[in-house]
């Protein structure tokens, strides 16, 4: 019977932590389906807020902006990140270690500071602000994640595989397509999901770099709350949570199976 109490306590603790994490989200999601605008019980199921959301031009425009920028960020950051990872994996060059070490600080530096720095920089070089700078900023933020994730995958990649392909007469392009990419695919997919999440959930940097009229969803929600709370926010938040959680699940799936194959 020894060891049973610690186990029970541990499970209770875990339960508390999960409750702490998910209860607010659950309440928010629940209230998005409640007819009352003031978090009041009794619960009256309704889709009013989703209907209201569908009619809210600003929120809808911001959602499309967010999706568009997240999608573009994913494509650009994944492409650049995959190429950078391959280069870092294949070649020994001067300053490689410095470059690799420099990949991590942007992940650790507070976004507020990164955002401020980017804003100053983009003004300095004459790019100004707008969705284009939001996109550049997001790509820069997502790139280290992509490179780290793909590089981890590449560590398991034996250089003999590419040598074998060469000895069989394959061109570099054929090798990339048939040998290298299939091997790192799980890493690429996971990196892409990270990039999407980093961009789609991004508030601070978007807030700094976007113009008030044309902005992303998190920034739009923030502005909307400042003007006065409406349950439409619950509805749109529920949608975002669904998308984000779905992505996280996908990511973890690819990570797990990526390791075994």
Partner 1 sequence: MTAVEIQGVSRHFGALRALDDVSMRFPEGSFTALLGPSGSGKTTLLRLIAGFDIPDAGRILFDGQSVETVPVERRGIGMMFQSYALFPNLDVAGNVGFGLWARRLPKAEIGRRVAQTLDLVRLSGLETRRPHQLSGGQRQRVALARAVAIQPRVLLLDEPLSALDKALRLDMQVELKRIQREIGITTIFVTHDQEEALTLSDRIGILREGRLVEEGRPEEIYGHPRTEFAATFLGDANILRGQAEGNAIRLADGTLIALAGPAEGPGPAAACAVRPERIRLVAATSPAPAGRLNRLAGRVEKRIFSGASRTYFVETVAGSLRALVQSGGEAPFGEGEAVILDWPPESTIAVLPDSGAADAAVPALP
Applying CB under 8 A, which residues contact partner 1?
Answer: 158, 160-161, 163-171, 174, 178-179, 182-183, 261
Cβ 190 to partner 1 shortest distance, Å: 17
Task: Say if residues 205 and 111 touch (Cβ distance below 8 Å).
Answer: yes
Backbone angles phi, psi at 168, to 5 degrees: -85, 5
Q: Which is nearer to partner 1, 132 or 178 (CB)?
A: 178
Which of 194, 193, 243 shows the shortest CA–CA distance to 217? 243
Which of 144, 128, 31 shows the shortest CA–CA distance to 78? 144
Q: Which is nearer to partner 1, 171 or 252 (CB)?
A: 171
Cβ 80 to partner 1 shortest distance, Å: 24
Cβ 156 to partner 1 shortest distance, Å: 10
Q: Which is nearer to partner 1, 162 or 232 (CB)?
A: 162
Look up tokens 């959930």; give the residue: 201
Cβ 8 to partner 1 shortest distance, Å: 41
* Burial class of residue 170 in the structure, from the number of CB atoms within 10 Å of its CB (0-12 exposed, 13-18 middle, 19+ buried): middle
Tell me the chain's radius of gyration from C-alpha atoms: 23
What are the tokens at 175? 């090798």
Q: Which is nearer to partner 1, 67 or 170 (CB)?
A: 170
Cβ 88 to partner 1 shortest distance, Å: 21
DSSP state of 177: I
Task: Say if residues 57 and 167 touch (Cβ distance below 8 Å).
Answer: no
Q: Which is nearer to partner 1, 143 or 175 (CB)?
A: 175
């Amino acid at each position: 019977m020894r060891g049973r109490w610690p186990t029970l306590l541990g499970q209770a603790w875990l339960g508390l932590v999960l409750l702490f994490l998910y209860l607010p989200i659950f309440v928010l999601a629940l209230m998005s389906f409640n007819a009352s605008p003031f978090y009041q019980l009794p619960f009256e199921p309704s889709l009013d807020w989703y209907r209201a959301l569908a009619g809210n031009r600003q929120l809808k425009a911001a959602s499309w902006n967010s999706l568009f920028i997240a999608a573009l960020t994913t494509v650009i950051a994944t492409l650049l990140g995959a190429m950078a990872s391959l280069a870092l994996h294949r070649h020994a060059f001067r300053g490689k270690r410095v470059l690799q070490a420099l990949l991590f600080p942007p992940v650790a530096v507070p976004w507020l500071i990164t955002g401020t720095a980017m804003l100053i920089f983009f003004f300095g070089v004459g790019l100004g602000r707008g969705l284009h700078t939001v996109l550049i900023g997001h790509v820069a933020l997502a790139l280290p994640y992509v490179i780290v994730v793909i590089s981890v995958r590449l560590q398991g990649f034996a250089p003999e595989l590419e040598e074998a392909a060469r000895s069989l007469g394959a061109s570099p392009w054929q090798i990339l397509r048939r040998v290298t990419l299939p091997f790192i695919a799980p890493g690429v997919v996971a990196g892409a999901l990270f990039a999407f999440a980093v961009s789609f959930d991004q508030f601070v940097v978007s807030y700094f770099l976007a113009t008030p009229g044309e902005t992303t969803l998190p920034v739009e929600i923030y502005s909307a709350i400042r003007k006065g709370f409406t349950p439409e926010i619950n509805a749109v938040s529920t949608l975002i949570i669904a998308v984000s959680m779905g992505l996280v699940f996908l990511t973890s799936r690819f990570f797990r199976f990526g390791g075994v194959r």
